[in-house]
Amino acid sequence: MRLVQVGVPEGRRAVVLGVLDDEDVEYVVSDETGSHDYEAIVAFPLPTNAVENVLASLRDVGVDESAYTVVTEAETVVSHRFDALEAEYADAGNGDRIAREELRSKAEGLASTFSTYVVMTVVSAVIATAGLLLDSPATVVGSMVIAPLIGPAMATAVGTVIDDEELFVRGVKFQVLGVLLSVGAAAVFAWVTQFTGIVPPSLDPTSLGQVRERLAPDALSLAVALGAGVAGVVSLTTGVSTALVGVMIAVALIPPAATVGIAIAYGLPSAAISSSVLTLVNLLSINLAALLVLWYSGYRPERFFQRDHARSATLKRLAALGIAIALLSVFLGGVTYDSYTTATDEQAIRDAVSGVVNESSDVTLLETQIELENRNVLFTEPERIVVTIGAPPGDRPPGLASRVDRAVDEAAGRDVEVQIRYVEVETARLGRAPSPAAGDGPSPARRLAQPS
């Protein structure tokens, strides 16, 4: 529910009240004494999804778009006429859809001031970097909570569909600034921790689970970003709190951007490229989803002659976003394909090793470790196979290593280095403990059992 207050221009009281009567809206009129531009202030409650229609009708009878207008949320309205009006608009659907004017105001409110935005972005990037280097999921999640990234993304989409160029440009600038700040802050912080010895000098960031997740983006990453964009717009247009949705958008942007910074600080160009692609795909996908949902929801500029311009701008920006995402998705598709082929090859190698080792009854396969190497930015392949085998003391099957090597090469389709490690395994069977030799005295167990 919304409570709307509108300034009635001089000489327009009768037609304004007539519109409200036609809409069956209950209202209260107060004489205006503080301004010569208005002769009265009319206040009336409306269902949320009725605000845009009623305001449009008032614009048609002479209430200018720049006229004094206040829309606030109402907790309770006690009125039979309002109940009937609410039921009428409930039947029309879109019961939670906010008005265009409220949408613009909320989008502007989500975009923080410049100084606040810079500080919060840098802080969230530093915390995300610390979480990645600590391999701490909880810390990474904490960095997302304070990231102020939902505002610029929503401002960009709203500015496009309602033809507010100033709002659109501000949103784009803040998004670009946010990504660059995140990468820069992460790189500086990672370099400082490395230079001062806060992290071990031998630390390999790519060995950390939280970092590895952002180095091999696949097609599922696209689904996460698109879902974040849709959720952001739905929360904005229905008046639902955007705090939790902002975390979802930060999930798609802050950790990947921090990973780019870490890769730069550690001099890992391949890792920097992979995480940069993920960051760009997520950023573009959020904007694409937000723009599509807003346009589908029916938001348009108020003036008729602006609608063609807004439609043209929306289509051009959708096309540009779609083409950019399609090009970057080639990378995602390559990573997805590589993940599938790598998993298939690994399983084939494990099966081959297991089959050869199981042919010998006296040995046991303990572990098959597959080490991968990067052929290029996209693809990996097995570099070395380390097979750990348990065998009785002094009993190693002859020729086992060569048989395993041939089986691995056949499964991998190429020559792969194979290393066999033997671990002596001796099994004591119940009821068959060896008897002590003459002169050795009682066994340790019997010595413990003898009275002192």
Question: 2-94 — its CATH code?
Answer: 3.30.70.120
The answer for residues whose C-beta is within 8 angstroms of residue 316's C-beta and 6 or more apart is none
Q: What is the DSSP letter of 45?
A: E
For residue 433, the model assigns a pLDDT of 52
Q: What share of the chain is helix, strand, coil (3-state, %, to 5)?
A: 60, 15, 30
* Rg over CA atoms, the chain: 34
Q: Per residue of the chain (452 residues), give pLDDT as tens.
A: 889 898 888 888 889 899 888 888 888 888 887 766 788 899 988 888 888 888 888 888 888 888 888 888 888 888 778 888 878 777 665 656 777 788 888 888 777 788 889 999 999 999 999 999 998 988 988 888 888 888 888 899 999 998 888 899 999 999 999 999 999 999 999 999 998 888 888 888 888 888 888 877 777 778 888 888 888 888 888 766 666 677 777 878 899 999 999 999 998 887 888 888 889 988 999 999 999 998 888 888 877 677 888 888 889 999 999 999 888 888 777 777 777 777 788 888 888 888 888 888 778 888 888 877 766 555 677 778 888 888 888 777 788 888 888 888 888 888 888 888 888 877 666 555 555 544 444 444 333 334 43
The CATH number of domain 342-424, selected from 3.40.1000, 1.10.530, 3.30.2250, 3.30.300 = 3.30.300
For residue 328, the model assigns a pLDDT of 84
For residue 361, the model assigns a pLDDT of 75
Task: Report CA torsion sign: 123, 126, 132, 133.
Answer: negative
Cα separation, 351 vs 412, in Å, equals 11
Q: Residues 407, 387: contact at Cβ < 8 Å?
A: no
pTM over 0.95: no
Closest CA to 30 of 22, 18, 38, 20: 38
For residue 50, the model assigns a pLDDT of 84
Cα separation, 252 vs 283, in Å, equals 8
The answer for residues whose C-beta is within 8 angstroms of residue 121's C-beta and 6 or more apart is 147, 148, 149, 177, 178, 181, 182, 185
For residue 439, the model assigns a pLDDT of 45
% of the chain beyond a pLDDT of 90: 17
Task: For the chain, give every domain's residue range.
Answer: 2-94, 104-299, 342-424
Q: Which residues pair with 8 in a beta bridge?
A: 40
Query: CA distances (Å), 99 to each of 49, 81, 195, 300, in order?
Result: 7, 21, 53, 11
DSSP 391-414: E-TT---TTHHHHHHHHHHHHHTS
